[in-house]
Amino acid sequence: MNWSLPEWLPQITPTVLKVALLVLFVAWWLWGVDWRTAWPVLATGGWMPLVLVGIMAALVWSRISPSTAILFGFVAIPNLLWQLSTVGLLIGLILFCGWLQTRYGWYPPAISFEPPPPSHDPHASHDAH
């Protein structure tokens, strides 16, 4: 039996991986983040670290993988400019996911990390017996 991959599989794999990563990214920001608490943090100055982290991510990206992007087959976008644009679009997508969640009420379930209060029930079973 000859087990070989179809010819189209290696060609389509990078695109499928990029789309899957984008779907996971959107799913996290849409259903994994509680925007009821995120919007007030952004409104009181949390937007500034978000912008600075975005600028630094684009700067590091442009130094790690320097390249010129070709848009529409003929427009050349310089190295740092296209990384800044991409990071800006991703931040815009994040904020759009927050708007969608707020608009349609798609909030994640509330999970409390606080320990439960101690029980004052004298009939509660104790494991020390």
In a domain, 59, yes or no: yes
pLDDT at position 53, please?
97
Residue 71 lies in domain: 41-106
pLDDT per residue as tens digits for the range 10-51: 889 889 999 999 999 999 999 999 999 999 999 999 999 999
Q: Please report whether residue 31 resides in a domain.
A: no
Asked whether residue 16 is assigned to any structural domain, the reply reads no
pTM score? 0.77
In a domain, 15, yes or no: no
Burial 75-102 (b: 16+ CB within 10 A, else e): eebeeeebbbebbeebbeebbebbeebe
Pairing of β 69-71 and β 75-77: antiparallel
Q: Three-class SS of residue 75?
A: strand
Indicate whether 77 belongs to any domain.
yes
- Asked whether residue 4 is assigned to any structural domain, the reply reads no
Residue 73 lies in a domain: yes
Identify whether 54 is part of a domain: yes
Q: How does DSSP classify residue 117?
A: P
Please count the structural domains in the chain: 1
